[in-house]
């Protein structure tokens, strides 16, 4: 899909109510490789998006804020023109879909936020704070940056899927393409204040999904409950998983998501 500042890549599979899935920063639309097929089998049309600057989307975008990513989601939903969309977002992708829901309430049927960064929160520990600062100042400042992201990516998981090594290699390979790291850097440094300020505008029913061992939050359950309170939503905690519970435990997350979507469809 063409936008004013670049091109967005997406996959469109299945038939039925529309579900749009948005990955986190530094990841690809294949992040949903375990979850999307389960929704297609259950009778949904699933569209998975590469964030601007990532995957097969073009590089060189001028803005990598949550609002900019959210505007891409809005543009995609308008482009698909298939009725109210159920939006699923992970990490910063959750901020994008939350912003989109505030911007276009009539086009959004529900929100599912996985490991969501929809507000500025402090690092989970002093160690992770130091690690983040080191990554930002050194890890992403040279030719070793793609590999540094690969190492960091491993730490976000409490339980690695069988294809983890091959998948991480694909992420690192993608980040070695010219312009890709600019997108990751831009998103890492982007404040979430632009989406946090709009959470009260969100009308869509919301499900917050967080791994009980998510290393990005000092208290994952407390963060899930805070986000759910701000969005008047429900919480689903996933035992033994980190920042990517839908990858680490798809047989837990998929049924919870399908129950949530089914309730919205039956409303």
What is the per-residue pLDDT across 35-57, written as a single tens digit (0 to 9) for each? 999 999 999 999 999 999 999 99
Tell whether the model's pLDDT for residue 134 goes beyond 70: no
CA dist., res. 111 & res. 139, Å (int): 33
Q: Which tokens go with 11? A: 């996959």
CA dist., res. 148 & res. 171, Å (int): 11
For Cα atoms 237, 238, 241, give the angle at the middle one, nearest 5 degrees.
130
pTM above 0.85, yes or no: yes
DSSP state of 210: E
Q: pLDDT category, 24, cuts 50, 70, 90?
A: very high
- How many CB atoms within 10 Å of residue 203? 14
Q: What are the extents of the domains in the chain?
A: 2-266
What is the per-residue pLDDT across 188-203, written as a single tens digit (0 to 9) for each? 889 999 999 999 999 9
What is the per-residue pLDDT across 148-186, written as a single tens digit (0 to 9) for each? 889 889 999 999 999 999 999 999 999 999 999 999 989
SS3 109: strand
CATH architecture of the domain covering 2-266: 3-Layer(aba) Sandwich (3.40)
Segment 55-65 shows an average pLDDT of 97
């Amino acid at each position: 899909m063409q936008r004013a500042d670049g091109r967005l890549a997406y996959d469109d599979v299945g038939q039925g109510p529309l579900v749009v899935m948005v990955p986190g920063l530094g990841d690809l639309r294949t992040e949903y490789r375990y979850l999307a097929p389960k929704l297609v089998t259950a009778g949904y049309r699933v569209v998975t998006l590469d964030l601007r600057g990532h995957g097969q989307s073009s590089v060189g975008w001028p803005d990598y804020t949550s609002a900019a990513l959210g505007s891409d989601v809005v543009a995609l939903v308008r482009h698909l023109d298939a009725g109210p969309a159920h939006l699923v977002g992970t990490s910063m992708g959750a901020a994008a879909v939350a912003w989109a829901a505030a911007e276009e309430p009539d086009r959004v049927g529900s929100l599912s936020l996985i490991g969501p960064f929809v507000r500025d929160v402090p690092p989970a520990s002093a160690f992770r704070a130091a690690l983040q600062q080191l990554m930002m100042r050194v890890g992403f400042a040279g030719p070793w940056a793609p590999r540094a992201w690969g190492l960091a990516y491993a730490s976000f998981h409490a339980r690695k899927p069988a294809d983890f090594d091959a998948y991480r290699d694909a992420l690192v390979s993608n980040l070695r393409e010219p312009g890709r790291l600019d997108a990751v850097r831009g998103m890492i440094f982007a404040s979430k204040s632009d989406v946090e300020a709009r959470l009260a505008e969100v009308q869509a029913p919301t499900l917050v999904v967080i791994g009980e061992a998510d290393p990005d939050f000092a208290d994952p359950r407390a963060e899930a409950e805070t986000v759910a309170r701000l969005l008047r939503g429900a919480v689903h905690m996933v035992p033994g998983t980190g920042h990517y519970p839908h990858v680490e435990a798809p047989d837990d997350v998929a049924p919870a998501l399908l129950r949530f979507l089914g309730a919205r469809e039956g409303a």
